[in-house]
Amino acid sequence: MKNLLKLGIALMVVTLSLPLKGQLQNAGTLNEPIDISGDFQSFTNTYYFADALVEFDPVSASGKVEYLRHEYATRQAFNNMLASLVPVRANEFPGNEYEAAPRLPIEIDFVSPRTIRLRMQSGPDQTLAEPSLMLVNGDAPTDQSWVYSAITGGHRYTSAFGSVTIMEKPWHIEFRDANGKLLTKTNHHSDNNGKTYTPVMPFSYVRRAADYSRSFSATLSLSPDEKIFGLGESYTNFNKRGSSVVLCTDDANGIQNETMYKPIPFYMSSNGYGVFMHTSTPITADFGKYFSGVQQLMIGDESLDLFIFLGNPKEILDAYTDLTGKAAMPPLWSFGFWMSRITYFSEIDGRTVTKKLRDNKIPCDVIHFDTGWFETDWRCDYKFSETRFDDPAKMITDFKKDGFETCLWQLPYFVPQNSLFKEIVEKGLYVKNPKGNLPYEDAVLDFTNPKTVEWYQGKIAALLKLGVGAIKVDFGEAAPYNGIYANGRTGFYEHNLYPLRYNKAVSDITYETNGERIIWARSTWAGSQRYPLHWGGDPANSNTSMAATLRGGLSIGLSGFTFWSHDIGGFVEACPEELYARWTPFGMLSSHTRSHGAPPTEPWEYSNDFLKSFRNATNMRYQLMPYIYSQSKHASENGLPMMRALFVEFPDDPGAWLIDNQYLFGADILVAPLFEETQSRDVYLPGKGMWFDYQTGKSYAPGWHHIEAGEIPVVMLVREGAAIPHIKLAQSTKFMDWNKIELKIYGKSDARTLICLPDQQELKELNIEKGKLVLNPFTNVEFKIVK
């Protein structure tokens, strides 16, 4: 076995000594995200401006909009070439066979008292209606509470939470809150023409000269102080106002560039609304970058399908996840610590690490084998190496007895030397190019093919039946754009859906086999939040990457994802000890927590001081497990993130909307990580109540403070009136005693908390008055109250 360990180390050294490379962006290389914004700036294309509502039925809220043709023209002035959008005549022959000013369908549906659906067509639609994988029930429900009224020059529908007004000419749709405040409205050419020298593309669609394909630009107004959040796991600036965001799933090769593993076509505005772009095509969303007064949603689809949500951040997230699905509650053990590196190669590696975790009293619930558990590193054949694993089934069983679940890495791409490659090709289980061949050298599984899903799930099920607890659902961002999929669609429509199909396939078979909703996935699209959980890709080992990690976590949390994790310390290189120490409590105070990346990641491979610090942070997490689990249950039922932007809980605090380097862990704990080599930092405390340092007990009023970190290198505060549930420390969640829970009160003697017991799955609120529990709804649980 010593020789096997040496072999594993040698393989690891070879793997990690290869030069680091990533995709050069904006260079036209393979699988680069598609940015369609250039199609709306071309002098060869024709643009059809939504001009007037020419037909409308108030009962069905449907009708037709007339579109007027425009093109770009140039004008030279003072040695500067200017562009403008000018009306043009029809260019078809015979002219009497085609509409010069097309009149095309518009339909408004009311999904709930907060949710409006807007659908428009740029031409005939011969596609058959089919359930949408992005919507939890395949389609949207209808709501009858909206009341119609005719107004001068238009139509208005009103609910308890706002109104939608459709003006006939010039055509506008206005969205207002219950007080009549304008939230946003469609942009008409007359809003720009003669009022700015900048050629602004109004609400319109483009017809490309190259192939006559069409795409929409849903152009809406922006208010002066409006801020935009969400759009998936975006690691750039948190507030997207002033940015242009390409929503196209990409193997980003890191987290400090503008491309994303997890783009989500949903965002929310500080103005009181959210927007879901219901499409799987590439999207470029410009939020006032080109022109500060408008947001331009350039959607690849030839049909437009928007959902608009009215409300505050919690209400918007609840409505959005009602539509696209709320996160399932993962098993208790998944909330424990996951120990990993790239990679453990053998049974002896796994047994050594699990033993050292217990010997060093580092609580842990999961041991993860990354790319090296096959005979050939990275060559996924779903089989444990016969030369490095003596008895995988016994190993997994032994791990379970000691409180560990096993997680295994895999991917949906198969190299030509893979023993499964021939079978995949012969059975036609791969995505094909237009000729029917392989688009790449690898075979990429086609999850639109039911036979592929059945074949693939059979491979995964065999591992789960062996006792494996979770499958790492890695990659999934490289579905061929030029591929022809089994459902007849091209990669233009299937590339972004690939992660959702991939997530679903693994989650479904895991639930069918083990009865648990748990995966560990990297790529996503809208709806993937139903299949927890996801982690944040491959961060560098740096302060700026740590800060970017938080921005990505906050952003995906504002995109409907309750659960999310990241690689503690970064992935690319061996993490410097000081950075690893600061990153650890940030990771421990995330919904799920894993150390992973280039070795060493194991805490005993660093100094004794680090080992103690790591143990303290991990112990804190395990003692907080009743809080973490209960808050997770509440978050999953309401579409809320566990890693929560301050303004989600404090929407009326203007300062809360400006913070991107702190977060709320659940509803009651505020976390301010140390992003630099320091022992203190500035912290903004939102709201009106007092805040209490979790480690020192010191109290702080709302506002800005400079606060020292405690023994655990993080600033962590609890809001006044919270009772934080704790449990006796155990080395695995499997060994925890949930019959005894301690409630620590912060602030006054009156407090409240939420409790969900893993074996009951029912969330209940506990109230404390004058230091005493008003009512204990759990007959078998003893609560101890500590001030």
Laid out side by side, the sheet with 663-665 consists of 643-644, 663-665, 669-672, 715-719, 691-693, 699-700
Tell me the C-alpha distance between 712 and 774, whole Å: 34
**Would you call 477 a catalytic residue per the annotation?**
yes
What DSSP character marks residue 445? B
**How confident is the model at residue 8, as a pLDDT?**
46
Count other C-beta atoms under 10 Å from residue 454's C-beta: 12
**Would you call 660 a catalytic residue per the annotation?**
no
Please write the tens of the pLDDT for every residue from 440-466.
Answer: 999 999 999 999 999 999 999 999 999
Give CA separation, 683 vs 339, 552, 678, 706, 714, in Å: 31, 20, 14, 6, 11
Please write the tens of the pLDDT for every residue from 535-562.
Answer: 999 999 999 999 999 999 999 999 999 9
Residue with tokens 């799933």: 249
> Can you name the residues that pair with 206 across neighbouring β-strands?
47, 215
- Of 12-16, 57-61, 152-156, 646-650, the range with the lowest mean pLDDT is 12-16
Per-residue pLDDT for 129 more than 90? no
Categorize the per-residue pLDDT at 25 as very low, low, confident or very high, splitting at 50, 70 and 90. low
Tell me the C-alpha distance between 327 and 738, whole Å: 24
Q: Torsion angle of alpha carbons 628, 631, 634, 636, nearest 10°? A: -50
Count other C-beta atoms under 10 Å from residue 521's C-beta: 24
Per-residue pLDDT for 117 more than 90? yes
Q: Pairing relation of β-strands 204-207 and 214-221?
A: antiparallel
Q: Pairing relation of β-strands 703-708 and 680-685?
A: antiparallel
User: What does residue 656 show for φ and ψ, rounded to 5 degrees?
Assistant: -65, -30
Tell me the C-alpha distance between 505 and 507, whole Å: 6
**How confident is the model at residue 127, as a pLDDT?**
84
Please write the tens of the pLDDT for every residue from 313-337.
Answer: 999 999 999 999 999 999 999 999 9
**How confident is the model at residue 126, as a pLDDT?**
86
Of 318, 349, 516, 538, which residue is the catalytic one? 538
Whether the upstream peptide bond of residue 68 has omega within 30° of 0, thus cis, is no
**How confident is the model at residue 301, as a pLDDT?**
97
Give pTM, 2 decimals. Answer: 0.97
Q: Pairing relation of β-strands 172-177 and 103-112?
A: unpaired
Of 446, 477, 516, 602, which residue is the catalytic one? 477
Per-residue pLDDT for 1 more than 60? no
Contacts 24+ apart (CB under 8 A), 676-679: 676/543, 677/543, 677/578, 677/582, 679/708, 679/709, 679/713
**Would you call 538 a catalytic residue per the annotation?**
yes
DSSP string, 332-363: GGGGSEEE--TT--SHHHHHHHHHHHHHTT--
**How confident is the model at residue 711, as a pLDDT?**
98
Categorize the per-residue pLDDT at 28 as very low, low, confident or very high, splitting at 50, 70 and 90. confident
Q: SS3 letters for 619-634?
A: HHHHHCHHHHHHHHHH
Please write the tens of the pLDDT for every residue from 169-195.
Answer: 999 999 999 999 999 999 999 999 889
Per-residue pLDDT for 135 more than 60? yes
Categorize the per-residue pLDDT at 20 as very low, low, confident or very high, splitting at 50, 70 and 90. low
Please write the tens of the pLDDT for every residue from 389-419.
Answer: 999 999 999 999 999 999 999 999 999 999 9
First-to-last C-alpha distance (Å) of the chain: 53
Q: What is the arithmetic mean of pLDDT over 41-55? A: 98
Per-residue pLDDT for 787 more than 90? no
- Of 8-12, 269-273, 444-448, 762-766, the range with the lowest mean pLDDT is 8-12
**How confident is the model at residue 504, as a pLDDT?**
98
Q: What is the arithmetic mean of pLDDT over 384-390? A: 98
Structure token digits, residue 251: 């193997």
Q: What is the arithmetic mean of pLDDT over 153-173? A: 98
Tell me the C-alpha distance between 132 and 280, whole Å: 10
Of 191, 474, 602, 653, which residue is the catalytic one? 474
Categorize the per-residue pLDDT at 9 as very low, low, confident or very high, splitting at 50, 70 and 90. very low
Q: Which residue has the higher pLDDT, 577 or 2?
A: 577
